[in-house]
Amino acid sequence: KVEGIETGTGQGVFVGNVNIGTTLSGSTYQMKDNTRGGMYTTNMNNGTSGNGTLFTKSTDTWGNGQVSNKESAAVDAHYGVAATWDFYKNTFGRNGIRNDGVGAYSRVHYDTGYVNAFWDDSCFCMTYGDGQGDTHPLTEIDVAGHEMSHGVTAATANLNYSGESGGLNEATSDIMGTMVEFYANLPSDTPDYLIGELININGDGTPLRYMDKPSKDGQSADSWYSGVGNLDVHYSSGIANHFFYLLAEGSGAKVINGVSYNSPTVNNITVTGIGRDKAAAIWYRALTTYMTSTTDYAAARTATLSAATDLYGAGSTEYNQVATAWAGVNVGS
């Protein structure tokens, strides 16, 4: 054991009871994890500028699951960074967001009534609002994974955040954020293909986005059409989210962890799922090897086919289902 490196216990708003990486400095515990690139979590105390104040205390027990305890959302954020770090490291051998061993820090309790979370490359940090009214803090694990994956995209393909490349940038974050949720596999936040399902972002219990049938949110595209690049990037992302769901799980009706999905395709094309792990490996390799800042949907198709060839061989089942899943969302050759 390295001097100062501790394992604390926390109870987050969403993560439930978890262990978190902390640091003992003198007689004070800090919410700082030196086993994962020195990532730490700060309290913005409703402010909007500066780095915030590092969470510290005299015991190594943090939060109580209640929003009113300011440490609870911090436990979610801290755990989310750790889970994202572990996911990328153990799945792809990626050592941090920039693959340089440096951990990102998180700022919670940003502003008042702030209903969003965001990644910022300039501070190499993540920021979470507390939500407003019936909307909970934005610290759910798929959102954490989503935001940090914007950092991974910026460090790799660097997809421009507008037009079709912007939709692919957003989809990469939804795909990898969802993979982080599956990786963490929390009993209090069972993994699914919904984004932000516990936050109550719409006030009626519905999630922010649906990967099996993106149009369920009323705005997102299920399949490609000319002009889809004019949509907000959080809606043009639907095509790639839908592609990923189809590739991983297949078309038609399915129940996963008690959630029912029904993923229709154009022309009723049948897609046979190859599983999440292979689908994620293909997407990650495409992102880090073939996609560039100007990749559009047609080029994303080519990139994932190249990735599938590298990983599983040309003409493999995996390669063929990549092509079929793209056809299922109207992205053709």
Query: Which residues in this chain contact ligand ASN in the complex, by CB under 6 A?
Result: 116-118, 146-147, 150, 170
Q: Please choose, out of 7-15, 169-177, 204-212, 297-305, the segment that lies near Zn ion by the rule CB under 5 A.
A: 169-177
How many chain residues interact with Zn ion (CB under 5 A)? 1
Q: Please choose, out of 17-25, 34-42, 192-200, 273-281, the segment that lies near Ca ion by the rule CB under 5 A.
A: 192-200
Task: Quote the CA–CA distance of 55 and 156 in Å, as a whole number.
Answer: 31
- Closest separation in Å from C-beta 143 to Zn ion: 9
**CA distance to 8, 10, 140, per residue, from 18 (Å):** 8, 5, 14
With CB under 5 to 8 Å by kind, the binding choice for 142 among Ca ion, ligand ASN, Zn ion, none is Ca ion
Q: Which of 33, 71, 130, 142 binds Ca ion (CB under 5 A)?
A: 142
**Comparison of 180 and 274: residue with beta carbon closer to ligand ASN:** 180
Q: Tell me: does residue 165 bind Zn ion (CB under 5 A).
A: no
Q: What is the DSSP letter of 130?
A: -
Q: Tell me: does residue 76 bind Ca ion (CB under 5 A).
A: no
Q: Tell me: does residue 41 bind Zn ion (CB under 5 A).
A: no
Q: Tell me: does residue 42 bind Zn ion (CB under 5 A).
A: no
With CB under 5 to 8 Å by kind, the binding choice for 118 among Zn ion, ligand ASN, Ca ion, none is ligand ASN
Q: Tell me: does residue 173 bind Zn ion (CB under 5 A).
A: yes
Choosing from 71, 147, 164, 181, which is the catalytic residue?
147
Helices (H) and strands (E) in the chain, counts: 8, 15
- Closest separation in Å from C-beta 116 to ligand ASN: 5
Give Cβ neighbours of residue 286 (< 8 Å, ≥ 6 apart). 300, 303, 304, 306, 307
**Comparison of 77 and 194: residue with beta carbon closer to Ca ion:** 194
Packed helices 297-312 and 163-184: angle between N→C axes, nearest 10 degrees: 40
Task: Quote the CA–CA distance of 329 and 246 in Å, as a whole number.
Answer: 9
Packed helices 141-155 and 70-92: angle between N→C axes, nearest 10 degrees: 50
Residue 234: active-site member: yes
Structure tokens at 317: 């089942």
Task: Quote the CA–CA distance of 208 and 140 in Å, as a whole number.
Answer: 12
Task: Quote the CA–CA distance of 242 and 247 in Å, as a whole number.
Answer: 9
Residues 171-190 that bind Ca ion (CB under 5 A): 181
Among the listed residues 83, 63, 212, 223, the one whose alpha carbon sits nearest the alpha carbon of residue 143: 83
Task: Quote the CA–CA distance of 244 and 248 in Å, as a whole number.
Answer: 6
Q: Tell me: does residue 164 bind Ca ion (CB under 5 A).
A: no
Choosing from 78, 136, 234, 242, which is the catalytic residue?
234
- Closest separation in Å from C-beta 30 to Zn ion: 29
- With CB atoms as reference, the residue minimizing the distance to Zn ion is 173
Q: What is the DSSP letter of 286?
A: I
Residue 109: active-site member: no
Catalytic positions are: 147, 234
Q: Which residues bind Zn ion (CB under 5 A)?
A: 173
